[in-house]
């Protein structure tokens, strides 16, 4: 087992967890009571390092750019890529939902009443990006505020020159310590993956999934097509980077994201994957934490499919104008709700309200949302890394020798 790579160990753990979950379908309480706690413990270890890792990495990444103008240039490219791919994702979701008629034949009764979560106003979202107390933002884990503060601090350290060198060295030491701690924690990833996937399969067996299998199929198909078409295409066109090498090197992060359904928890592994592709640390430390917060391609695609599904279940027809509204709402909401707990639910609430669909429809997908979340999170983190590779290539800082050597060793 020591000779196996981490990605292979995680994959084996995922398969074993699925098999164990199938055997434990009649005893979900056992899976939740005796197996899931080990997965929760592993997630707690990941959560332990996420905030200091994001903060230190962004400050180091910002100062490593060496130029205030470079921050603006790279930041602009990153946000443009994230917004464009998110818009394409929700369009793809709507196309597939239309073509495959995702909600046809379903007349599922809704017994549960679903209350709409409070939707943040645009003004509140914009004001909430700037922390009034950066320490509170760190304690609360408000990623948008942490990102803004870290970038501002990194830019200020550059601006004061020699006076900021001691602070830069201190934060750089913190970042290195967090990288070391991350490497140690990741040795337990296979065990955490097994403990997390087993109760999911035990609770959501075929009997629960079959009535909504078409929704799951369309979302998963859309996620696969988005990765193959958009990420492969942009990597080849803008970075001249082999999609096969990319997906081979990103697989550990994809497997982990699929299991945990958490972009933030996957961030440490994603940074390692980007490093294995030759992306310099100062770029990955800037692009990936930003992406984990604001880039939600998979979630946007899911919004399009689910909105169309709910409309068909209730016998409502969505016009072209309403579907365009869904595209715009989901794209903008991907940034506006990123720092809010339960972002996926809030985004879907926004989308449903924007076109007048009944919010009770949220209950239809509640039972399978965890299964859908696994796929959309996998897409989200894949897009983050694809963007990092493209940005590095556009800045002529992508080390292709590192990619070749790491691909050959797998």
How does pLDDT run across 165-214, given as a tens digit for each residue? 899 899 989 988 988 887 788 788 889 888 888 887 887 665 545 557 88
Count how many residues are written for the chain.
410
Residue 210: inside a domain: yes
In angstroms, the CA 96 to CA 194 distance is 32
Q: What local confidence, expressed as pLDDT, does residue 211 receive? A: 56
pLDDT of residue 409: 58
Residue 391 to residues 240, 246, 283, 341, Cα–Cα distance (Å): 12, 14, 8, 29
Q: How far is CA 175 from CA 57, 145, 261, 268, 303, in A?
A: 6, 19, 25, 12, 36
Rg from Cα positions in the chain: 21
Give the per-residue pLDDT at 379: 93
Q: Decide: 344 and 299 in contact? Cβ < 8 Å.
A: yes
249 domain residue, yes or no: yes
Domain-embedded: residue 190: yes
Position 149 in a domain: yes
Residue listed under structure tokens 């950066």: 134
The answer to whether position 1 is within a domain reads no
Residue 212 lies in a domain: yes
CATH code where residue 373 lies: 1.10.3860.10
- Give the pLDDT of residue 340: 43
- Total count of domains within the chain: 1
Is residue 271, in this structure, part of any structural domain at all? Answer: yes
For residue 234, what pLDDT is reported? 95
pLDDT on residue 274: 93
CB 304 within 8 A of CB 221: no
The ranges of the chain with pLDDT < 70 are: 1-2, 7, 65-66, 105-126, 144, 204-211, 332-346, 359-360, 363-364, 366-367, 403-410
What is the model's pLDDT at position 220? 94
Residue 317 placed within a domain: yes
Q: Are 49 and 185 in contact (CB under 8 A)?
A: yes
Query: Which residue segment(s) compose the domain that 272 sits in?
Result: 6-409
Global pTM reads 0.73
The pLDDT assigned to 176 comes to 86
Burial of 362 (0-12, 13-18, 19+ CB in 10 A): buried
């Amino acid at each position: 087992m020591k000779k196996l790579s981490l990605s292979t160990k995680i994959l084996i753990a995922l398969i074993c967890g699925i098999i164990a979950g199938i055997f434990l379908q009649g005893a979900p309480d056992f899976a939740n009571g005796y197996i899931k706690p080990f997965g929760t413990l592993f997630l707690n270890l990941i959560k332990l390092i996420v905030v200091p890792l994001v903060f230190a990495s962004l400050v180091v990444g910002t100062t490593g750019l060496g130029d205030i103008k470079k921050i603006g240039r790279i930041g602009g490219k990153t946000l443009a890529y994230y917004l464009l791919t998110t818009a394409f994702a929700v369009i793809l979701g709507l196309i597939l939902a239309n073509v495959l008629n995702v909600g046809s034949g379903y007349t599922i009764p809704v017994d549960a009443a679903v209350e709409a979560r409070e939707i943040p106003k645009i003004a509140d979202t914009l004001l909430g990006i700037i922390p009034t107390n950066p320490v509170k933002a760190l304690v609360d884990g408000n990623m948008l505020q942490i990102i803004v503060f870290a970038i501002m601090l990194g830019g200020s350290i550059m601006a004061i020159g020699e006076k900021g060198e001691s602070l830069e060295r201190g934060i750089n030491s913190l970042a290195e310590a967090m990288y070391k701690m991350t490497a140690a924690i990741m040795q337990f990833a296979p065990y955490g993956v097994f403990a997390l996937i087993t109760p999911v399969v035990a609770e959501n067996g075929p009997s629960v999934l079959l009535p909504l299998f078409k929704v799951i199929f369309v979302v998963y198909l859309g996620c696969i097509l988005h990765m193959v078409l958009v990420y492969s295409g942009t990597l080849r066109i803008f970075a001249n980077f082999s999609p096969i090498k990319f997906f081979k090197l990103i697989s550990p992060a994809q497997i982990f994201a699929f299991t945990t359904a958490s972009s933030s928890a996957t961030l440490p592994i994603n940074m390692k994957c980007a490093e294995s592709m030759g992306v310099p640390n100062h770029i990955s430390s800037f692009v990936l934490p930003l992406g984990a917060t604001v880039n939600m391609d998979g979630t946007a695609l899911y919004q399009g499919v689910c909105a169309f599904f709910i409309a068909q279940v209730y016998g409502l027809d969505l016009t072209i104008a309403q579907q365009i509204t869904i595209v715009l709402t989901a794209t903008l909401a991907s940034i506006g709700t990123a720092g809010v707990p339960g972002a996926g639910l809030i985004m879907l609430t926004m989308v449903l309200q924007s076109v007048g669909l009944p919010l009770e429809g949220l209950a239809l997908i509640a039972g399978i949302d965890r299964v859908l979340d696994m796929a959309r999170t996998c897409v989200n983190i894949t897009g983050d890394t694809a963007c990092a590779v493209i940005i590095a290539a556009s800045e002529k800082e992508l080390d292709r020798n590192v990619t070749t050597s790491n691909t050959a060793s797998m």
